Protein backbone atom coordinates (compact mmCIF):
# COMPACT_ATOMS: atom_id res chain seq x y z
CA UNK A 1 0.00 0.00 0.00
CA UNK A 2 1.34 3.38 -0.97
CA UNK A 3 1.50 6.15 1.59
CA UNK A 4 2.00 8.89 -1.00
CA UNK A 5 -1.24 10.60 -2.00
CA UNK A 6 -1.55 13.53 -4.34
CA UNK A 7 -4.14 15.63 -6.13
CA UNK A 8 -4.83 15.98 -9.87
CA UNK A 9 -3.31 19.48 -9.82
CA UNK A 10 -0.20 18.14 -8.13
CA UNK A 11 0.48 15.42 -10.68
CA UNK A 12 -0.15 17.94 -13.47
CA UNK A 13 2.38 20.36 -12.02
CA UNK A 14 4.98 17.69 -11.32
CA UNK A 15 4.59 16.21 -14.82
CA UNK A 16 5.03 19.67 -16.32
CA UNK A 17 8.12 20.23 -14.19
CA UNK A 18 9.60 16.97 -15.49
CA UNK A 19 9.26 18.16 -19.07
CA UNK A 20 11.90 20.83 -18.40
CA UNK A 21 15.52 19.80 -18.68
CA UNK A 22 18.49 21.11 -16.76
CA UNK A 23 20.19 24.23 -18.19
CA UNK A 24 17.32 25.01 -20.55
CA UNK A 25 16.43 28.67 -21.00
CA UNK A 26 12.74 28.81 -20.13
CA UNK A 27 10.34 31.69 -20.71
CA UNK A 28 7.97 31.33 -17.76
CA UNK A 29 4.36 32.50 -17.56
CA UNK A 30 2.84 33.27 -14.17
CA UNK A 31 0.59 30.75 -12.40
CA UNK A 32 0.93 27.02 -13.11
CA UNK A 33 3.93 27.42 -15.48
CA UNK A 34 5.80 29.38 -12.83
CA UNK A 35 5.00 26.82 -10.15
CA UNK A 36 6.12 23.93 -12.37
CA UNK A 37 9.34 25.69 -13.44
CA UNK A 38 10.23 26.42 -9.83
CA UNK A 39 9.62 22.77 -8.90
CA UNK A 40 11.91 21.70 -11.76
CA UNK A 41 14.67 24.05 -10.62
CA UNK A 42 14.51 22.68 -7.09
CA UNK A 43 14.55 19.03 -8.19
CA UNK A 44 16.09 17.67 -11.39
CA UNK A 45 16.94 20.93 -13.21
CA UNK A 46 18.97 23.15 -10.86
CA UNK A 47 20.47 25.01 -13.81
CA UNK A 48 17.11 25.93 -15.35
CA UNK A 49 17.44 29.52 -16.59
CA UNK A 50 14.10 31.15 -15.90
CA UNK A 51 13.08 34.27 -17.79
CA UNK A 52 10.03 36.27 -16.82
CA UNK A 53 8.69 38.82 -19.30
CA UNK A 54 9.26 41.65 -16.83
CA UNK A 55 12.88 41.44 -17.98
CA UNK A 56 14.33 39.36 -15.15
CA UNK A 57 16.76 36.88 -16.72
CA UNK A 58 17.93 33.94 -14.62
CA UNK A 59 15.70 34.61 -11.62
CA UNK A 60 16.03 32.19 -8.69
CA UNK A 61 13.19 33.25 -6.37
CA UNK A 62 13.08 31.71 -2.89
CA UNK A 63 9.28 31.74 -3.00
CA UNK A 64 6.65 31.79 -5.75
CA UNK A 65 6.09 35.28 -7.16
CA UNK A 66 2.45 36.42 -7.28
CA UNK A 67 3.17 38.29 -10.50
CA UNK A 68 5.80 38.33 -13.24
CA UNK A 69 7.27 41.53 -11.86
CA UNK A 70 7.61 40.72 -8.18
CA UNK A 71 10.68 42.21 -6.52
CA UNK A 72 12.07 38.78 -5.64
CA UNK A 73 12.62 38.09 -9.35
CA UNK A 74 14.69 41.27 -9.83
CA UNK A 75 16.63 40.72 -6.60
CA UNK A 76 17.74 37.22 -7.63
CA UNK A 77 18.17 37.59 -11.40
CA UNK A 78 21.47 37.40 -13.27
CA UNK A 79 20.40 40.61 -14.94
CA UNK A 80 17.35 42.81 -15.33
CA UNK A 81 16.67 44.19 -18.80
CA UNK A 82 14.02 46.46 -20.28
CA UNK A 83 10.88 45.07 -21.92
CA UNK A 84 12.00 45.86 -25.51
CA UNK A 85 15.26 44.05 -24.77
CA UNK A 86 13.62 40.89 -23.43
CA UNK A 87 11.38 40.62 -26.49
CA UNK A 88 13.70 41.93 -29.21
CA UNK A 89 17.10 40.61 -28.09
CA UNK A 90 16.19 37.43 -26.24
CA UNK A 91 12.91 36.04 -27.51
CA UNK A 92 12.78 37.14 -31.15
CA UNK A 93 16.19 35.74 -32.27
CA UNK A 94 15.38 32.30 -30.80
CA UNK A 95 17.63 32.34 -27.74
CA UNK A 96 14.97 30.67 -25.56
CA UNK A 97 14.64 26.87 -25.52
CA UNK A 98 11.15 26.52 -24.15
CA UNK A 99 8.14 28.75 -23.64
CA UNK A 100 5.90 27.62 -20.83
CA UNK A 101 2.31 28.83 -21.22
CA UNK A 102 -1.17 28.48 -19.81
CA UNK A 103 -4.42 29.32 -21.63
CA UNK A 104 -8.16 29.76 -21.33
CA UNK A 105 -8.89 27.74 -24.49
CA UNK A 106 -6.87 25.40 -26.67
CA UNK A 107 -7.90 23.51 -29.81
CA UNK A 108 -6.93 20.28 -31.55
CA UNK A 109 -3.97 22.00 -33.20
CA UNK A 110 -2.84 23.54 -29.91
CA UNK A 111 -3.77 27.07 -30.95
CA UNK A 112 -4.25 29.14 -27.80
CA UNK A 113 -6.83 31.72 -26.76
CA UNK A 114 -6.32 34.13 -23.87
CA UNK A 115 -8.32 37.01 -25.38
CA UNK A 116 -12.11 36.50 -25.40
CA UNK A 117 -14.76 33.83 -24.99
CA UNK A 118 -17.39 34.44 -27.66
CA UNK A 119 -17.35 37.06 -30.38
CA UNK A 120 -14.51 39.59 -30.22
CA UNK A 121 -16.79 42.62 -30.62
CA UNK A 122 -19.45 41.34 -28.21
CA UNK A 123 -17.59 38.92 -25.96
CA UNK A 124 -19.24 36.71 -23.38
CA UNK A 125 -16.09 36.90 -21.31
CA UNK A 126 -13.29 39.36 -21.77
CA UNK A 127 -9.95 37.77 -20.80
CA UNK A 128 -6.66 39.61 -20.10
CA UNK A 129 -5.37 39.31 -23.66
CA UNK A 130 -2.15 38.41 -25.40
CA UNK A 131 0.68 39.72 -23.24
CA UNK A 132 3.87 38.05 -24.38
CA UNK A 133 2.22 34.81 -25.50
CA UNK A 134 1.99 35.31 -29.31
CA UNK A 135 5.72 35.84 -29.68
CA UNK A 136 6.60 33.24 -27.04
CA UNK A 137 4.56 30.71 -29.04
CA UNK A 138 6.15 31.90 -32.29
CA UNK A 139 9.81 32.16 -31.35
CA UNK A 140 10.75 29.79 -28.52
CA UNK A 141 12.36 26.62 -29.83
CA UNK A 142 9.44 24.69 -28.39
CA UNK A 143 6.40 25.34 -26.24
CA UNK A 144 4.90 23.45 -23.30
CA UNK A 145 1.31 24.21 -22.33
CA UNK A 146 -0.11 23.46 -18.91
CA UNK A 147 -3.84 23.80 -18.20
CA UNK A 148 -6.74 22.00 -16.56
CA UNK A 149 -8.77 19.89 -18.95
CA UNK A 150 -12.49 20.35 -19.62
CA UNK A 151 -14.74 20.70 -22.65
CA UNK A 152 -14.92 24.43 -21.93
CA UNK A 153 -11.14 24.77 -22.29
CA UNK A 154 -10.39 22.04 -24.85
CA UNK A 155 -12.51 23.17 -27.77
CA UNK A 156 -12.78 22.12 -31.38
CA UNK A 157 -11.95 25.67 -32.49
CA UNK A 158 -10.71 28.47 -30.24
CA UNK A 159 -12.87 31.59 -30.26
CA UNK A 160 -9.80 33.73 -30.91
CA UNK A 161 -6.28 32.74 -31.93
CA UNK A 162 -4.13 34.72 -29.51
CA UNK A 163 -1.09 32.50 -30.07
CA UNK A 164 -0.53 30.09 -32.93
CA UNK A 165 0.06 26.44 -32.16
CA UNK A 166 0.06 24.30 -35.28
CA UNK A 167 -2.41 26.51 -37.17
CA UNK A 168 -4.72 24.34 -39.24
CA UNK A 169 -2.24 21.51 -39.66
CA UNK A 170 0.98 20.49 -41.40
CA UNK A 171 3.13 23.23 -42.90
CA UNK A 172 1.20 26.10 -41.35
CA UNK A 173 3.91 27.27 -38.96
CA UNK A 174 6.45 27.28 -41.76
CA UNK A 175 4.07 29.19 -44.05
CA UNK A 176 3.49 31.77 -41.34
CA UNK A 177 7.21 32.25 -40.80
CA UNK A 178 7.11 31.10 -37.16
CA UNK A 179 10.62 30.13 -36.19
CA UNK A 180 10.02 27.74 -33.27
CA UNK A 181 8.58 24.22 -33.31
CA UNK A 182 5.41 25.27 -31.47
CA UNK A 183 3.58 23.37 -28.70
CA UNK A 184 5.22 19.96 -28.34
CA UNK A 185 3.43 18.97 -25.15
CA UNK A 186 0.14 19.84 -23.48
CA UNK A 187 -0.02 18.73 -19.87
CA UNK A 188 -3.30 18.64 -17.97
CA UNK A 189 -4.71 17.32 -14.73
CA UNK A 190 -5.74 14.17 -16.65
CA UNK A 191 -2.84 13.38 -18.94
CA UNK A 192 -0.42 14.45 -21.64
CA UNK A 193 -1.07 15.33 -25.30
CA UNK A 194 1.47 15.73 -28.06
CA UNK A 195 1.07 16.77 -31.71
CA UNK A 196 0.97 13.90 -34.20
CA UNK A 197 4.18 14.04 -36.24
CA UNK A 198 2.27 14.19 -39.54
CA UNK A 199 -1.17 15.66 -38.92
CA UNK A 200 0.02 18.01 -36.12
CA UNK A 201 -3.24 17.26 -34.30
CA UNK A 202 -2.97 16.69 -30.55
CA UNK A 203 -2.94 13.02 -29.59
CA UNK A 204 -3.32 11.65 -26.08
CA UNK A 205 0.05 10.09 -25.33
CA UNK A 206 -0.18 9.67 -21.59
CA UNK A 207 -2.65 9.45 -18.74
CA UNK A 208 -2.11 10.02 -15.07
CA UNK A 209 -2.63 7.10 -12.65
CA UNK A 210 -6.29 6.46 -11.93
CA UNK A 211 -7.50 8.32 -15.04
CA UNK A 212 -9.15 6.30 -17.80
CA UNK A 213 -9.02 7.28 -21.44
CA UNK A 214 -12.80 7.69 -21.67
CA UNK A 215 -12.65 10.40 -18.99
CA UNK A 216 -10.01 12.31 -20.94
CA UNK A 217 -12.02 12.05 -24.15
CA UNK A 218 -15.14 13.19 -22.30
CA UNK A 219 -13.28 16.29 -21.13
CA UNK A 220 -12.19 17.15 -24.67
CA UNK A 221 -14.31 19.12 -27.13
CA UNK A 222 -13.20 17.14 -30.17
CA UNK A 223 -12.78 13.49 -31.03
CA UNK A 224 -9.42 13.09 -29.30
CA UNK A 225 -7.10 10.54 -30.89
CA UNK A 226 -5.28 8.19 -28.54
CA UNK A 227 -1.75 6.91 -29.03
CA UNK A 228 -1.22 3.16 -29.38
CA UNK A 229 1.71 3.52 -26.99
CA UNK A 230 -0.24 5.25 -24.27
CA UNK A 231 2.05 5.94 -21.33
CA UNK A 232 1.14 5.95 -17.67
CA UNK A 233 2.52 8.99 -15.86
CA UNK A 234 4.93 7.98 -13.10
CA UNK A 235 3.54 8.99 -9.72
CA UNK A 236 4.97 12.09 -8.09
CA UNK A 237 7.83 11.23 -5.78
CA UNK A 238 7.85 12.15 -2.13
CA UNK A 239 10.57 14.69 -2.86
CA UNK A 240 8.67 16.31 -5.74
CA UNK A 241 5.55 16.61 -3.63
CA UNK A 242 7.47 18.05 -0.68
CA UNK A 243 9.06 20.71 -2.91
CA UNK A 244 5.76 21.55 -4.59
CA UNK A 245 3.85 21.80 -1.32
CA UNK A 246 6.51 23.96 0.26
CA UNK A 247 6.27 26.33 -2.70
CA UNK A 248 2.49 26.54 -2.73
CA UNK A 249 2.20 26.67 1.03
CA UNK A 250 0.04 23.55 1.11
CA UNK A 251 2.57 21.46 3.06
CA UNK B 1 9.91 71.62 -12.37
CA UNK B 2 9.08 70.33 -8.87
CA UNK B 3 5.33 70.77 -8.52
CA UNK B 4 2.60 69.24 -6.39
CA UNK B 5 0.80 66.35 -8.02
CA UNK B 6 -2.61 68.02 -8.30
CA UNK B 7 -1.06 71.01 -10.03
CA UNK B 8 1.03 68.87 -12.36
CA UNK B 9 -1.96 66.80 -13.47
CA UNK B 10 -4.06 69.96 -13.95
CA UNK B 11 -1.38 71.51 -16.17
CA UNK B 12 -0.24 68.47 -18.13
CA UNK B 13 -3.29 66.24 -18.63
CA UNK B 14 -6.36 67.42 -20.53
CA UNK B 15 -9.67 65.90 -21.59
CA UNK B 16 -9.22 63.89 -24.77
CA UNK B 17 -5.46 63.39 -24.34
CA UNK B 18 -3.58 60.20 -25.05
CA UNK B 19 -2.05 59.32 -21.70
CA UNK B 20 0.38 56.54 -20.82
CA UNK B 21 0.85 55.67 -17.15
CA UNK B 22 3.54 53.03 -17.48
CA UNK B 23 5.09 50.66 -15.00
CA UNK B 24 5.66 46.93 -15.36
CA UNK B 25 4.35 45.56 -12.04
CA UNK B 26 7.00 47.74 -10.39
CA UNK B 27 6.75 51.55 -9.95
CA UNK B 28 3.17 51.91 -11.18
CA UNK B 29 2.08 55.58 -10.90
CA UNK B 30 -1.05 54.79 -8.87
CA UNK B 31 -1.30 58.12 -7.03
CA UNK B 32 -1.18 59.99 -10.34
CA UNK B 33 -3.97 57.77 -11.68
CA UNK B 34 -6.06 58.57 -8.62
CA UNK B 35 -5.45 62.28 -9.15
CA UNK B 36 -6.75 61.95 -12.72
CA UNK B 37 -9.90 60.34 -11.31
CA UNK B 38 -10.29 63.12 -8.72
CA UNK B 39 -9.97 65.81 -11.35
CA UNK B 40 -12.70 64.10 -13.36
CA UNK B 41 -10.80 63.97 -16.66
CA UNK B 42 -12.77 62.51 -19.55
CA UNK B 43 -12.39 60.93 -23.01
CA UNK B 44 -8.81 59.92 -22.39
CA UNK B 45 -7.08 57.40 -24.61
CA UNK B 46 -5.31 55.39 -21.96
CA UNK B 47 -2.20 53.55 -23.04
CA UNK B 48 -0.31 50.88 -21.15
CA UNK B 49 1.17 47.48 -21.89
CA UNK B 50 -0.19 45.98 -18.69
CA UNK B 51 -3.24 47.90 -17.48
CA UNK B 52 -3.83 46.65 -13.96
CA UNK B 53 -5.95 47.79 -11.05
CA UNK B 54 -5.32 51.54 -11.36
CA UNK B 55 -6.51 51.33 -14.98
CA UNK B 56 -9.50 49.30 -13.79
CA UNK B 57 -10.23 52.23 -11.47
CA UNK B 58 -9.76 54.87 -14.19
CA UNK B 59 -12.03 52.91 -16.56
CA UNK B 60 -14.65 52.34 -13.86
CA UNK B 61 -14.59 56.05 -13.04
CA UNK B 62 -15.43 56.86 -16.66
CA UNK B 63 -12.18 58.67 -17.50
CA UNK B 64 -11.34 56.59 -20.59
CA UNK B 65 -12.88 56.48 -24.07
CA UNK B 66 -10.24 54.12 -25.42
CA UNK B 67 -7.65 51.69 -24.11
CA UNK B 68 -4.49 50.73 -26.01
CA UNK B 69 -2.90 47.72 -24.35
CA UNK B 70 -1.45 44.23 -24.56
CA UNK B 71 -2.47 42.49 -21.31
CA UNK B 72 -5.25 43.74 -19.07
CA UNK B 73 -5.44 41.85 -15.82
CA UNK B 74 -4.90 41.85 -12.10
CA UNK B 75 -1.42 40.28 -12.04
CA UNK B 76 -1.39 37.00 -10.18
CA UNK B 77 -5.07 37.35 -9.23
CA UNK B 78 -7.26 37.26 -12.34
CA UNK B 79 -9.31 39.57 -14.51
CA UNK B 80 -10.07 43.28 -14.29
CA UNK B 81 -13.81 43.45 -13.74
CA UNK B 82 -14.35 47.18 -14.40
CA UNK B 83 -12.48 46.75 -17.70
CA UNK B 84 -14.58 43.67 -18.45
CA UNK B 85 -17.81 45.51 -17.58
CA UNK B 86 -16.87 48.43 -19.84
CA UNK B 87 -16.07 46.11 -22.77
CA UNK B 88 -19.04 43.77 -22.41
CA UNK B 89 -21.71 46.21 -21.04
CA UNK B 90 -20.40 49.74 -21.80
CA UNK B 91 -20.52 50.59 -18.07
CA UNK B 92 -20.14 53.38 -17.08
CA UNK B 93 -19.29 54.46 -20.65
CA UNK B 94 -18.35 52.51 -23.80
CA UNK B 95 -14.67 51.66 -24.04
CA UNK B 96 -13.01 51.28 -27.41
CA UNK B 97 -10.06 48.92 -27.31
CA UNK B 98 -6.94 48.61 -29.43
CA UNK B 99 -5.17 45.42 -28.64
CA UNK B 100 -1.58 44.35 -29.20
CA UNK B 101 0.94 41.83 -27.93
CA UNK B 102 3.65 42.92 -25.49
CA UNK B 103 6.24 42.79 -28.26
CA UNK B 104 4.02 44.95 -30.47
CA UNK B 105 3.43 47.57 -27.77
CA UNK B 106 7.09 47.64 -26.75
CA UNK B 107 8.12 48.23 -30.34
CA UNK B 108 5.48 50.95 -30.83
CA UNK B 109 7.06 52.85 -27.93
CA UNK B 110 10.59 52.19 -29.25
CA UNK B 111 9.60 53.71 -32.61
CA UNK B 112 8.00 56.64 -30.81
CA UNK B 113 11.13 57.22 -28.73
CA UNK B 114 13.31 56.85 -31.83
CA UNK B 115 11.49 59.43 -33.92
CA UNK B 116 10.53 56.79 -36.47
CA UNK B 117 7.05 56.38 -37.96
CA UNK B 118 6.87 52.64 -37.35
CA UNK B 119 8.62 49.58 -35.96
CA UNK B 120 9.23 46.13 -37.40
CA UNK B 121 8.95 42.86 -35.53
CA UNK B 122 8.74 39.15 -36.16
CA UNK B 123 5.40 38.61 -34.55
CA UNK B 124 1.62 38.52 -34.84
CA UNK B 125 1.76 36.14 -37.81
CA UNK B 126 -1.26 33.83 -37.83
CA UNK B 127 -2.97 35.45 -34.84
CA UNK B 128 -6.47 36.93 -34.86
CA UNK B 129 -5.06 40.17 -33.43
CA UNK B 130 -4.14 41.19 -36.97
CA UNK B 131 -7.76 41.10 -38.18
CA UNK B 132 -9.00 43.14 -35.21
CA UNK B 133 -6.35 45.83 -35.12
CA UNK B 134 -5.79 48.06 -38.17
CA UNK B 135 -2.52 49.18 -36.60
CA UNK B 136 -0.88 45.86 -37.33
CA UNK B 137 0.22 45.58 -40.93
CA UNK B 138 2.53 43.41 -42.94
CA UNK B 139 5.76 44.65 -44.49
CA UNK B 140 8.29 43.02 -46.78
CA UNK B 141 11.95 43.30 -45.85
CA UNK B 142 13.65 45.18 -48.72
CA UNK B 143 16.80 43.10 -48.25
CA UNK B 144 15.61 39.52 -47.74
CA UNK B 145 11.98 39.59 -48.89
CA UNK B 146 10.80 38.25 -45.51
CA UNK B 147 7.27 39.15 -44.42
CA UNK B 148 7.27 40.90 -41.05
CA UNK B 149 4.82 42.86 -38.91
CA UNK B 150 4.84 46.66 -38.85
CA UNK B 151 3.29 48.72 -36.06
CA UNK B 152 3.00 52.52 -35.93
CA UNK B 153 4.96 54.65 -33.49
CA UNK B 154 3.21 55.45 -30.24
CA UNK B 155 3.65 59.06 -29.10
CA UNK B 156 1.47 59.87 -26.09
CA UNK B 157 0.50 63.46 -25.35
CA UNK B 158 1.68 62.78 -21.84
CA UNK B 159 3.50 59.90 -20.18
CA UNK B 160 3.41 59.51 -16.42
CA UNK B 161 5.88 57.27 -14.59
CA UNK B 162 6.85 56.78 -10.98
CA UNK B 163 10.51 56.59 -9.92
CA UNK B 164 12.56 56.33 -6.77
CA UNK B 165 14.28 59.71 -6.77
CA UNK B 166 14.81 63.00 -8.51
CA UNK B 167 17.08 65.92 -7.77
CA UNK B 168 15.80 69.48 -7.55
CA UNK B 169 16.71 70.07 -11.21
CA UNK B 170 14.40 67.24 -12.24
CA UNK B 171 16.93 64.53 -13.12
CA UNK B 172 15.30 61.20 -12.35
CA UNK B 173 16.75 57.97 -10.97
CA UNK B 174 14.81 54.76 -11.53
CA UNK B 175 16.05 51.20 -10.97
CA UNK B 176 14.95 47.59 -10.53
CA UNK B 177 12.49 46.29 -13.11
CA UNK B 178 12.61 49.14 -15.60
CA UNK B 179 9.88 47.87 -17.91
CA UNK B 180 9.03 50.26 -20.73
CA UNK B 181 9.16 53.51 -18.74
CA UNK B 182 12.19 55.02 -20.43
CA UNK B 183 10.80 54.44 -23.93
CA UNK B 184 7.32 55.66 -22.94
CA UNK B 185 8.82 58.85 -21.51
CA UNK B 186 11.06 59.51 -24.50
CA UNK B 187 8.12 58.94 -26.87
CA UNK B 188 5.86 61.49 -25.17
CA UNK B 189 5.15 65.16 -25.74
CA UNK B 190 5.05 65.84 -21.98
CA UNK B 191 6.47 63.77 -19.11
CA UNK B 192 5.34 63.78 -15.49
CA UNK B 193 7.41 61.79 -13.02
CA UNK B 194 6.14 61.14 -9.52
CA UNK B 195 8.95 60.20 -7.13
CA UNK B 196 9.42 58.76 -3.68
CA UNK B 197 11.70 61.64 -2.77
CA UNK B 198 13.41 64.74 -4.10
CA UNK B 199 17.05 65.09 -3.05
CA UNK B 200 19.63 67.85 -3.51
CA UNK B 201 22.13 65.50 -5.16
CA UNK B 202 21.57 62.03 -6.60
CA UNK B 203 23.86 59.29 -5.28
CA UNK B 204 25.19 56.97 -7.96
CA UNK B 205 23.24 53.67 -7.85
CA UNK B 206 24.40 50.56 -9.73
CA UNK B 207 22.03 49.71 -12.57
CA UNK B 208 20.36 53.06 -12.32
CA UNK B 209 18.29 54.45 -15.14
CA UNK B 210 18.26 58.20 -15.41
CA UNK B 211 15.80 60.34 -17.25
CA UNK B 212 17.73 63.60 -17.65
CA UNK B 213 15.85 66.71 -16.63
CA UNK B 214 15.65 67.92 -20.21
CA UNK B 215 13.15 65.17 -21.12
CA UNK B 216 11.08 65.63 -17.95
CA UNK B 217 8.33 68.26 -17.86
CA UNK B 218 7.48 68.03 -14.17
CA UNK B 219 8.41 66.08 -11.06
CA UNK B 220 5.96 65.59 -8.23
CA UNK B 221 7.09 64.21 -4.89
CA UNK B 222 4.61 61.52 -3.87
CA UNK B 223 6.04 59.17 -1.22
CA UNK B 224 4.24 55.84 -1.52
CA UNK B 225 2.89 56.94 -4.90
CA UNK B 226 3.31 53.50 -6.46
CA UNK B 227 1.46 51.54 -3.77
CA UNK B 228 0.03 48.91 -3.85
CA UNK B 229 2.71 48.16 -6.45
CA UNK B 230 6.22 48.62 -5.16
CA UNK B 231 9.26 50.85 -5.32
CA UNK B 232 12.48 48.87 -5.21
CA UNK B 233 14.52 49.96 -2.22
CA UNK B 234 11.55 51.76 -0.61
CA UNK B 235 8.65 49.37 -0.06
CA UNK B 236 7.31 46.02 -1.19
CA UNK B 237 4.33 45.05 -3.28
CA UNK B 238 1.13 44.80 -1.26
CA UNK B 239 -0.11 41.51 -2.69
CA UNK B 240 -3.10 41.50 -0.34
CA UNK B 241 -4.34 44.77 -1.84
CA UNK B 242 -4.29 43.22 -5.33
CA UNK B 243 -6.29 40.25 -4.04
CA UNK B 244 -8.70 42.55 -2.18
CA UNK B 245 -9.34 44.57 -5.35
CA UNK B 246 -10.94 41.53 -6.96
CA UNK B 247 -14.03 41.73 -4.71
CA UNK B 248 -14.40 45.51 -5.10
CA UNK B 249 -13.90 45.42 -8.86
CA UNK B 250 -16.43 42.63 -9.37
CA UNK B 251 -19.34 44.62 -8.02
CA UNK B 252 -20.60 47.96 -9.39
CA UNK B 253 -21.97 49.03 -5.99
CA UNK B 254 -18.77 48.15 -4.13
CA UNK B 255 -16.77 49.96 -6.79
CA UNK B 256 -19.01 53.04 -6.61
CA UNK B 257 -18.53 53.18 -2.85
CA UNK B 258 -14.77 52.89 -3.35
CA UNK B 259 -14.88 55.71 -5.92
CA UNK B 260 -16.89 57.98 -3.63
CA UNK B 261 -14.40 57.41 -0.88
CA UNK B 262 -11.49 58.29 -3.18
CA UNK B 263 -13.03 61.45 -4.62
CA UNK B 264 -14.81 62.54 -1.43
CA UNK B 265 -11.72 62.13 0.72
CA UNK B 266 -9.78 64.28 -1.72
CA UNK B 267 -12.07 67.28 -1.53
CA UNK B 268 -11.99 67.16 2.27
CA UNK B 269 -8.24 66.70 2.53
CA UNK B 270 -7.30 69.39 0.02
CA UNK B 271 -3.96 69.48 -1.80
CA UNK B 272 -1.40 66.75 -1.21
CA UNK B 273 0.77 67.78 1.76
CA UNK B 274 3.82 65.95 0.38
CA UNK B 275 3.73 68.10 -2.74
CA UNK B 276 3.19 71.34 -0.85
CA UNK B 277 6.23 70.75 1.34
CA UNK B 278 8.48 71.35 -1.64
Contact B72 A82 (CB under 8 A): no
Among candidates B88, B124, B236 on the partner chain, residue whose Cβ is nearest the Cβ of A134:
B124
Contact by Cβ (8 Å): B103, A91: yes
What CA–CA distance (Å, rounded) separates B102 from B87? 20
| Cβ-based burial of B68 (10 A; exposed 0-12, middle 13-18, buried ≥19) | buried
In chain B, what are the domain boundaries? Answer: 5-99+159-263, 102-152
- The pLDDT > 90 percentage for chain B reads 90
What CA–CA distance (Å, rounded) separates A53 from A83? 7
Q: Which chain A residue is nearest to residue B95, measuring alpha carbons?
A: A121
Among candidates B84, B106, B128 on the partner chain, residue whose Cβ is nearest the Cβ of A84:
B106
Over residues B47-72, mean pLDDT = 98
Mean pLDDT of chain A: 95
Is residue A105 over pLDDT 60?
yes
What CA–CA distance (Å, rounded) separates A98 from A28? 9
Contact by Cβ (8 Å): A77, A28: no
Contact B101 A135 (CB under 8 A): yes
Which residues does chain A have within 8 Å of residue B84's beta carbon, measured at their own beta carbons?
125-126
Would you place residue A220 in the very low, low, confident or very high pLDDT band (cuts 50, 70, 90)? Answer: very high
A24 CA: distance to closest CA in chain B (Å): 22
Strands A116-118 and B118-121: unpaired
Mean pLDDT of chain B: 94
CATH (one of 3.40.50.2300, 3.40.50.1000, 3.40.1080.10, 3.10.180.10) for B5-99+159-263: 3.40.1080.10
Picking from A213, A199, A212, A113, the residue whose alpha carbon sits closest to that of residue A156 is: A113
Contact B106 A88 (CB under 8 A): yes
Residues near B159 by beta carbon (within 8 Å), at least 6 away in sequence: B19, B20, B21, B22, B184, B185, B187, B188, B190, B191, B192
The pLDDT, as a whole number, for residue A50 is 96
Which CATH homologous superfamily contains domain A8-188+236-248? Glutaconate Coenzyme A-transferase (3.40.1080.10)
Q: Which helix (H) or strand (E) holds B109?
A: helix B102-114
Residue A194 annotated to the active site: no
Interval A7-23: pLDDT, tens? 999 999 999 999 999 99
Structure ipTM over 0.85, yes or no = yes
Is residue B151 over pLDDT 70?
yes
Which residues does chain A have within 8 Å of residue B147's beta carbon, measured at their own beta carbons?
177
Residue B146 touches partner A, C-beta closer than 8 Å? yes
Contact by Cβ (8 Å): A192, A24: no
Residue B141 touches partner A, C-beta closer than 8 Å? no
What CA–CA distance (Å, rounded) separates B210 from A15? 44
| Cβ-based burial of B206 (10 A; exposed 0-12, middle 13-18, buried ≥19) | exposed
List the 73-112 stretch of A: residues with Cβ below 8 A of B: 73-74, 80-84, 87-88, 91-92
What CA–CA distance (Å, rounded) separates B198 from B84? 38
The pLDDT, as a whole number, for residue A2 is 53
A204 CA: distance to closest CA in chain B (Å): 25
| Cβ-based burial of B240 (10 A; exposed 0-12, middle 13-18, buried ≥19) | exposed
What CA–CA distance (Å, rounded) separates B106 from B183? 8
Residues B109, B110, B114, B119: is their CA dihedral positive or negative?
Answer: negative
Is residue B85 over pLDDT 90?
yes
Query: Given phi > 0 = left and psi -120 to 50 = alpha, else beta, which region is B192?
Result: beta
Strand partners, A194: A203
Amino acid sequence: MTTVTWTADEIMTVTAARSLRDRMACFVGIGLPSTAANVARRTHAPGLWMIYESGTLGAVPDHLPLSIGDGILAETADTVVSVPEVFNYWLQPGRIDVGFLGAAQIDRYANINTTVIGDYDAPKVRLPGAGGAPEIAASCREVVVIMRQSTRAFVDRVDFVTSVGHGAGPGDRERLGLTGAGPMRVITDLGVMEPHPETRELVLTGVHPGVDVAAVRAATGWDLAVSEDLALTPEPTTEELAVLRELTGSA
Amino acid sequence: MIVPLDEAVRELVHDGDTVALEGFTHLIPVAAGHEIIRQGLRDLTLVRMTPDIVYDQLIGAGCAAKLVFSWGGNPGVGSLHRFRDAVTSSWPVPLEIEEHSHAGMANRYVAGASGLPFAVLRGYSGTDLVAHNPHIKSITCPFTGQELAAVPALNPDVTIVHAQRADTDGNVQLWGITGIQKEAALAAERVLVTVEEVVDTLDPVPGQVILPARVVTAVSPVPGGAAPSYAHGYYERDNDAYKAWDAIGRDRAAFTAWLEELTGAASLAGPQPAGRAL
